[in-house]
Amino acid sequence: MAYPRIVVFDLDGTLVDTAPDLINALNYVLDREGLPPVPLASARNMIGAGARKLIERGLEVEGRNVSVEELNRLTRDFIDYYAEHIADESRPFEGLDAALDDLQSRGYRFAVCTNKLEWLSKLLLDRLDMSRRFAAICGADTFGVAKPDPAILHQTIARAGGQSSASVMVGDSGTDIGAARRAGISVVGVSFGYTDTPIAELNPDRLIDHMRDLPRAVESLLKSTG
């Protein structure tokens, strides 16, 4: 049986520049707690580990510790607000559509593997008219595990109808690189996403600075499969 070659994408900071809407939602929660907003430029690198971790990091900036119950409440408030404003300012990164068109013409299939909640991921991609592009959209709650656990990556690929040996991961942070490494899958890093550690220091198999370079990077890693 011939499996399709799969390109698995992280979502926030890889496919879509979601930082403005995520940080607006964080600042909404912080404002309700009487705390000052965090600037977008410095907060971008807080993104990537899910809503709860983003709130924890936002509180840490102000030196605030809260109970588990308070954090649960803040997370619910954040998600409610974020869902209503999920695509106010979020947009796909420049060159994405053309890159996907190119890869699709070569027979590739696409999937999303994110630490965002699945329903929020689908809502965002629906609002941006992108859901149709992906054979699977899987979040941290889909299989009960999150990146860098390799199980979420393996199961996302399986749900998209592929197999790991004919797949490549595309991401912007250590959780993506870590998941791919543990899964034994090649990984393309993007330099325009959200990460505390510069992506080049994480040694992805390929590093791109613009989506126009994605097809060549993917082809170089998967040319012997399929």
Please name each of the domains of the chain with its CATH number. 6-17+91-222 (3.40.50.1000), 19-84 (1.10.150.240)
From 10, 12, 102, 172, active-site residue:
10
Top pLDDT among 68 and 217 is at 217
Residues forming a β-bridge with 190: 208
Among 47-56, 76-85, 112-121, 166-175, the least confident range: 47-56
CA–CA separation, 23 and 159 (whole Å)? 31
pLDDT the model gives residue 71: 87
Q: Is 10 a catalytic residue?
A: yes
Determine contact, residues 133/108, Cβ cutoff 8 Å. Answer: no
pLDDT tens readout for residues 120-178: 999 999 999 999 999 999 999 999 999 999 999 999 999 999 999 999 999 999 999 99
CA–CA separation, 21 and 25 (whole Å)? 6
Confidence of residue 48 (pLDDT cuts 50, 70, 90): low
Q: Is the dihedral of CA 23, 28, 30, 36 positive or negative?
A: positive
